[in-house]
Chain A
Amino acid sequence: MSVGAVHAIQPPLSRAGSRTRRAGLSTGWTCFAACLAVYLGAAAFASFVDPGLLGSDGVSRVAIANRILFSEDPHLGAIGFVWSPIPVLALLPMVALKGVFPAFVSSAFAGTILSAVFMAGSVAQMAGLLAEIGVRPWPRWLLTATFALHPLILLYAMNAMSESGLIFFLMLVTRSVNRWLRSGETGALVATGFYLALAYLTRYETAAAALAVAALVALASFASQPGPPRERLRGAAVHVLIAIVPFAVAFWGWALASWLLTGQLFDQFSSSYGNSQQISALGLGGQLGPAQLLANARLSAVWMLSLEPVLPLALVAGLVVIVRRRDWRALGAPVVLGAVVTFMTYATIDEKIAPAQIRYFIVVIPLVVVAVGTALGRGGGMTSAEGSRRAEGSRAREVPRRRRRGGPRLGWVATAAAVLAMTGSVASGLLTVASPADNGGTAYAVRAIVDARAITPSERAAEFQFGPDRAVSRYVDSLHLPPGSILVDDFIGFIVVMSSDDPAQYIIPSDREFQQALASPAVWGVRYVLIPQPVGLGKLDAVNRAYPGAYADGAGIGQLVKTFSGGYHWRLYRVPQTG
């Protein structure tokens, strides 16, 4: 069609190709819509019926979006840098509508909707990936269902946490890496780069995936190019750059933004609320002896296996199939997901980055589904649309499609066994999610779904609840204070501030005059100071740090007005007015 010299120009999409692509798109959307319907129902349940299912960090993100738009000093810089920005930015449009629908904020419904949307997207991406690695329709839908209905996935599709965003962007990365490995299309590699950047801006641990992608792309590119090593090395460098530059920009851009606004390049570690401080406030993170490391390793293994008992089997089966077919490109998808699992396992064992929680192992679930899909799939499966788009002649990658040994019957037996095993994982996952030892925060709420009487008041108190802090907020609202007249650190007090009808009456750390107000409340016109009990993360509260002992006796700030002890213990002090 074209001259030899012009290898860069690709023929336009064939009609047939674009039709297939559209068909693929609409299946994806159907899958997305179906999951979204279920997840949105679950999200509404979590927001309005049983907030015990919510994750406190997720609700806190809604509070951050709320303070960006409605605080005494509304500005984007109030987003903070301890967490990645996308889960908060994505909330802004909904939070902006709180005048129309207050529950978006007051019940964190914006947050639960967002996790439902992200998780529905993850499921649609999973279905697409399984199709692309050649899993036949029936097993593909069954596998997708075991992913979509896995109890931990279901829980994180409704609890406002950012895990759903993490999985969504990881699935996009995984899928585009797989596409690039199969087709060599530059576009797939560019997409990988942008998805990695978005993933990093959603959750920091995806940096591990970026490293894995860089290594994977370098190896695959070097191995597949013709020519002398020097040229292949240059070609590989170009590929790695395309895959990694957007991530690197997101990484340094975010660090720079953090430095501009807080003076710290990596606020997530160094901030007074950052992970390191949280770890030490919780009494963790010291030098660990071998016994403790071993115990942490055991805990990680137990969690992974209780979420997905078939993990080892799935990985071995996937690997055996890859080795037998010599289809090394099929390693791409599991390696990307595996990198994040490996990193979080390391973090859990080491205990320095974050306190151990089962949610850090959620990526095990898509990993197992992808590994099983790799074992069942034909490998190198590609739609005709992709075939026709893959026009870069010599650089397109052909994967021999060998028939699986043992013929179709064994194939069906293997498929049935795999689906059965995955169903077992779903059951095991349910037990895990309902076990307080494994799923501390929300296990009781999960149990309560089945039997509301099974939960005791003290168990209820251990989980997330709006009630007590809302009561504090209502009391403060009843004082009818002018803007900026009550000082509180919303790190602990986020529910108090977000539940208020008038968040502008609070002065919080993201307000640019907070430090001055904290240093001399009376001079700054602060009338009240709200202080949490300095236990656990309460030690990180700005007032407690600035005025040690303030909770107990006011530390000279003012006079005790009221103590709230329904949930987190708060004390309200009145500041004497000067002049």
Chain B
Amino acid sequence: MSPSNPAPVAVREEDALYQSIHGLRLRRPDLSASRVLTNPQRAATLILAAVLVAGLVLAPLVAGLILAASVTVLYAAMLLRNVAMFRHLTRPAVTVQISDSEARAIPDSALPTYTLMVAAYHEPEVIAATLAALDRLDYPRDRLDVKLLLEADDQATREAVRAARPGSHVEVVLVPPAEPRTKPKALNFGLRLARGEYVTIYDAEDRPEPLQLRRAVAAFAADDGRLACLQARLSYHNPTQNLLTSWFALEYLTWFTFTLPAVAGGRTPVPLGGTSMHIRRDVLEEVGAWDPFNVTEDCDLGVRLYRMGHRTAVLDSVTDEEANSDAINWLKQRSRWVKGYAQTWLVHMRNPLRLWRELGTRGFVGFNLSVGGATLTSVLNPALWILTAVWFLAKPTAVQSVFPDWVYYPSMLSMIVGNVLAYYSGFITLDRTGRSELLKAALLMPVYWGLMSFGALRAVLQLLISPFVWEKTVHGLDQVVAEPRA
């Protein structure tokens, strides 16, 4: 913030808050998830649903056949993508590697100011540990700009921060109480105060590897200028706490060690992880920062960066996180992710032709499969598992008639090969990363898939039953914030 700004603090704050919530929506309404469906999307959805219902009533066999064939095409496409991903499991990962000595070689005077934002809400127990972890970062304090983003009415966390006595490079930023109380809103609020050339975000329980910032600086310096964002690898420090954390750890291990680097190297948008993403501040501001209406703002930001011509790579540096060890919490988090992926897909598919032009064919297909396809298949999986079981046990003729040979064989193949590849990948990850202690999780992985699908179904129900909750929230907020400005 410029010290010469003459506006009174209260007004500046209101304005900052308003911009944090509505900045993207006002500048680029087409890229904001504040509306779930645009009118054409709504019309298309209704027409599709009507045609489907009418088809199932009037010509159930034909409609069933078309449905079965479409689902098979979707799964076959996902299978092709997964096979492509699978090949990366046995190859050297394509990550940006900066050695320890390279990272340390940069003189302190050459290091730019780096903004670290940590959004914490109701987390008084972990905040001291967070500050300690950030203290271990190997970076000159006078070039660190740490923003602790706390909700103004979260007294407990504020108290805990005071007790921890952070250094002068740590600034506590109080986000005024306002809905939505989401991380992206807090991040946007913090970003307006950021001074760093680069910005990164950490969650409260994160433990970044000490040289991470230096590695990021070196990687940005070594690049030709198109590199705008580096995603560090996330890993869990409590993988053996219980079966759930083991599963979660294994999933992350595969995702961040192999899949994400492969996606980043593959000329398709990279769905970012929620923390440890390092980004040039000028780019972040240019693309409109985070969308507070998207519940997976990280995934959305990755896609938006790519659309606007910026490149993302995976940085070979690890941030340890805490895996969700509680099933209910895990389920909520998973539902949020699925919902967010669905939001992201809907936002960017508002104008498919334009998206196609911006992403290229490869990027367009990649986006549709890794964001849209992944969401849709995790919802459809349980239904298809049940259908397969019914088919094997009872062989009903109805199933037979909508699965003629040319649908039946590809669908059976996709089903078997797809599931087996996913299962098999777990063991390969264990061997490649030397983490055989997760063997039990890998063996029981199909149970985890069941949980994932349950989370996905929950997300879809939320979308179906209360799709307007978001819009309502928007309106309410509009009035609350707009009043003082008027």
Measured CA separation A3–B94 after assembly (Å)? 15
State in angstroms the CA–CA spacing of A76 and B406 once bound together.
Answer: 10
A2-B316, A3-B100, A186-B428 as given contacts; A9 in contact with B409, CB under 8 Å = no
Would A242 and B427 count as touching, CB distance under 8 A?
Answer: yes
Q: Chain A residues near B318 (CB, 8 Å)?
A: 3, 5-6
A262 to chain B, nearest CB (A): 13
Pick the residue among B93, B427, B428, B437 that contacts A9 (CB under 8 A). Answer: B93
Interface centre among A8, A190, A231, A260 (most CB of B within 10 A): A8
Interface residues on A, range: 35 or more
Taking residues whose C-beta sits less than 8 angstroms from the other chain, chain B's interface range is 35 or more
Is the Cβ of B90 less than 8 Å from the Cβ of A8? no
Neighbouring A residues of B439 by C-beta, 8 Å: 234, 237-238
* In contact, B99 and A231 (Cβ under 8 angstroms): no
Contact, CB under 8 Å: A190 / B90: yes
Counting chain B CB atoms within 10 Å of each CB, which of A11, A187, A260, A389 scores highest? A187
Q: In the complex, which residues 350-395 of chain A have their Cβ closer than 8 Å to any Cβ of chain B?
A: 389, 391-392, 395
What residue in chain B is nearest A185 (Cβ atoms)? B90
Question: For A335, what are the chain B residues with a Cβ–Cβ distance below 8 Å?
Answer: none
Contacting pair A9 B92 (CB below 8 A)? yes
Please determine whether A3 and B409 come into contact, CB atoms closer than 8 angstroms.
Answer: no
Contacts of A437 in B (CB 8 A): none
Instruction: Name A8's contact: one of B211, B409, B433 (CB within 8 Å).
Output: B433
Structural contact, B90 and A10, CB atoms closer than 8 A: no
Given contacts A9-B257, A186-B431, A249-B416, contact A2 B97 (CB under 8 A): yes
B242 CB-CB contact with A under 8 Å: no
Chain A residues positioned under 8 Å from B432 (CB to CB) = 8, 186, 392
Interface: A229 (CB within 8 A): no
Residues in B neighbouring A260, C-beta threshold 8 A: 392
Q: Give A190 to B420 CA distance when docked, in angstroms.
A: 13
The answer, yes or no, to whether A19 is at the interface (CB within 8 Å) is no
- Known A3-B316, A190-B90: A242·B428 in contact at CB below 8 Å: yes
Contact A12–B92 (Cβ < 8 Å):
yes
- The chain B residue with its CB closest to the CB of A231 is B436
A374 to chain B, nearest CB (A): 27
- Would you call B428 and A190 a contact (CB within 8 A)? yes
Chain B positions within 8 Å of A10 at CB level: 91-93
* Residue numbers in A under 8 Å from B92 (CB-CB): 9-13, 389, 391
Say how far B6's CB is from chain A's closest CB, in angstroms.
48
Residues of A within 8 A of B423 (CB): 245
Q: 1/0 per position for A1-35, CB-CB distance to B under 8 A?
A: 11101111111110000000000000000000000
When the two chains form their complex, are residues B427 and A238 in contact, meaning their CB atoms are under 8 A apart?
Answer: yes
CB distance from B454 to the nearest CB of A (A): 26
In chain B, positions 411-425 with a C-beta closer than 8 Å to chain A are 416, 420, 423-424
Give chain B interface residues in 88-127, CB to chain A under 8 Å.
89-95, 97, 99-100
Q: Judge if B14 is at the interface, Cβ distance under 8 Å.
A: no
* A residues in contact with B430, CB < 8 Å: 238
Q: What is the interface of chain B mostly: helix, strand, loop, or mixed?
A: helix
A392 to B420, CA, bound (A): 26
* Residues of B contacting A231 in the complex (Cβ-Cβ under 8 angstroms): 436-437
Complex Cα spacing A480 to B42, Å: 61
Q: Which residues of B contact A391 (CB under 8 A)?
A: 92
Residues A1 and B97 in contact, CB atoms below 8 Å apart? yes
Is B405 engaged at the interface, CB distance under 8 Å to the other chain? yes
- Chain B residue contacts of A539, Cβ below 8 A: none
**Is A41 an interface residue, CB under 8 A from the partner?**
no
Q: How far is the CA of A541 from the CA of B430 in the complex (A)?
A: 52
> Does chain A have a CB within 8 A of B317?
yes
Measured CB to CB, the nearest residue on chain A to B99 is A1
A246 to B90, alpha carbons, bound, how many Å?
15
Is the C-beta of B30 less than 8 angstroms from some C-beta in chain A? no
**A235 x B436 contact (CB < 8 A):** yes
Q: Is A113 an interface residue (CB 8 A)?
A: no
Q: Mark B73-95, 1 if CB is under 8 A from A, else 0.
A: 00000000000000001111111
User: Is A239 at the interface (CB under 8 A from chain B)?
Assistant: yes
Q: B22 at the A/B interface (Cβ < 8 Å)?
A: no
CA distance A380 to B90 in the complex (A): 22
Which of A1, A234, A253, A256 contacts B437, CB < 8 Å? A234
**Interchain nearest-CB distance for B282 vs A (Å):** 28
CB of A98 within 8 A of chain B?
A: no
Chain A residues whose C-beta falls within 8 Å of the C-beta of B437 in the assembled complex? 231, 234
- Nearest chain B residue, comparing its CB with the CB of A257: B412
Known: A249-B416, A391-B92. A6 touches B233 (CB 8 A): yes
Closest to A193 in B: B424
Given A242-B427, A246-B424, A391-B92, CB of A237 within 8 Å of CB of B316: no
Interface status of B15 (Cβ within 8 A of chain A):
no
Which residues, 292 to 330 on B, are CB-close (under 8 Å) to A? Answer: 316-318
Most chain A beta-carbon contacts within 10 A, residue among B94, B99, B211, B430: B430
B209 at the interface (CB under 8 A from A): yes
Smallest beta-carbon distance B462→chain A, Å: 36
* B167 part of interface (Cβ distance < 8 Å): no
Q: Determine the distance from Cα of A10 to Cα of B434 in the docked complex, in whole angstroms.
A: 13
B138 nearest CB across to chain A (Å): 12
Q: How far does the alpha carbon of A204 sit from the alpha carbon of B433 in the complex, in Å?
A: 34
The contact sample of 15 A-B pairs, CB cut-off 8 A, is A1-B97, A2-B97, A3-B318, A5-B318, A6-B316, A8-B257, A8-B432, A9-B95, A76-B409, A185-B90, A186-B431, A234-B436, A234-B437, A245-B427, A249-B420
Known: A5-B209, A8-B93, A9-B92. 11 other contacts (CB 8 A): A2-B97, A3-B316, A6-B317, A9-B93, A9-B95, A185-B90, A234-B439, A235-B436, A238-B439, A242-B427, A246-B420
10 tightest A-B CB contacts, nearest first: A187-B90, A10-B92, A8-B433, A234-B436, A235-B436, A241-B427, A186-B431, A238-B430, A238-B436, A9-B93
